[in-house]
Amino acid sequence: MSLKGDVCVVTGACGFLGKRLVRLLLEEENMAEIRLMDKHIQPQLLHSLEDCRGDTKLSVFEGDIRDGDFLKKICRGASIVFHIASIIDVNDSVEYSEIYGVNVKGTQLLLEACIQENVVSFIYTSTVEVMGPNLKGEPIVNGNEDTVYDSSLKFNYSKTKREAEQRTLQAHSEVLQNGGRLATCTLRPMYIYGEGCRFLLGHMGDAIRNKDVLFRMSLPEARVNPVYVGNVAMAHLQAARSLKDPQKRNVVGGKFYFISDDTPHVSYSDFNHVMMSPLGFIIQEKLMLPLRLFYVVCFLLEVLCMMLRPFVRITPPLNRQLLTMLNTPFSFSYQKAKRDLGYIPRYTWEEARKHTIEWLASQLPKERERIRAK
């Protein structure tokens, strides 16, 4: 099912995934208009898309996801919304009111704008972290959408993303102002990597400061399955095509899907090494501390930061929940997305790795210079 002639909105259009999705839509679909929504839109983004824009109109909307009137304006006349914008915070460094306002209230306001402005399809970008891992560190290996798991979450990020996901799915089949029905679905990507991934860049910077030695924060057996950004963008396109297809709309609508690809299952730390070893980086053989002692240190840091919070907000670089996430086997299959959405990873593991390493290699001199200058 083609999206030819449709008008779509992409929130978070300047982000890591948002930019990739916009380019894919321009390359694959002859859409009437793509509306780029973000807090700030860099002029260079529009310039970078000129080579594939074709006849599609690109419109820029700068504003706050918490502004209901603004959201109604960007949804007016649109048929599809890709809601990618959110605050990603794995250290709990952002105030709860801020992250809740953007991730939950922003999503609710956007859903309401879709209903008022007769938008028929809504795709929400969730995360595997709405599933866990839980505080006990219970593993999941090659799980799926039917996997039963005690998802007791501590991070404000994962809790707000889960609530936003729930609100999205509950809005499926809501009656629009014109009498039609809204169809929604959510995608739960694994850890997303690729060109532009700020987490990979951050790990590379840490390793440069550590004499080109990557820190080991994950046990080798704590395997996860990261997913390439180009494949996540493809899953979003397939979700939109499915929601537009009258035969698939009721199958896909109101459902969530895990999005992974054929990236080998490996620990987070070993994945960093796979990407950066061709650039001359090595990795520590063992954790800096035994895992149990690591938890004790994190607990003491959390207590200290909590005691200081009335006077100053300090966020420890590592906490117990993040340590649990880094050291819990947690992987999921994409077979349901393949069956229902027709999702097939566009990029092989070899291609994804090659593109990512080339990007990291292009960033390495800048990172070395930046760190030397400090």
Q: Is 161 assigned a catalytic role?
A: yes
Task: Name the residue type at position 45.
Answer: L
Q: State the Cα–Cα distance between residues 232 and 115, nearest whole angstrom.
A: 26
For residue 328, CA distances in Å to 135, 224, 226, 315, 331 come to: 10, 8, 14, 23, 10
* Site of tokens 């009656």: 175
**CB distance 223 to 328 below 8 Å:** no
For residue 173, CA distances in Å to 159, 181, 183, 250, 253 come to: 24, 5, 6, 9, 8
Residue 133: asked if its preceding bond is cis (omega within 30°), the reply is yes
For residue 137, count other CB atoms closer than 10 A to its CB: 18
Query: What sign has the CA pseudo-torsion 214, 347, 26, 21?
Result: negative
**CB distance 100 to 93 below 8 Å:** no
Chain centre distance of CA 217: 21
Q: State the Cα–Cα distance between residues 230 and 344, nearest whole angstrom.
A: 11
* Closest listed residue to residue 165, CA positions, set 150, 134, 186: 186
**CB distance 254 to 337 below 8 Å:** no
Q: Active site residue: 19, 161, 244, 248, which one?
A: 161
Residue 37: phi, psi to the nearest 5? -115, 130
Cα angle at 155 between 276 and 316, to 5 degrees?
65
Chain centre distance of CA 141: 21
For residue 9, count other CB atoms closer than 10 A to its CB: 29
Q: How many residues does the chain have?
A: 374
For the annotated catalytic residues, the residue numbers are 161
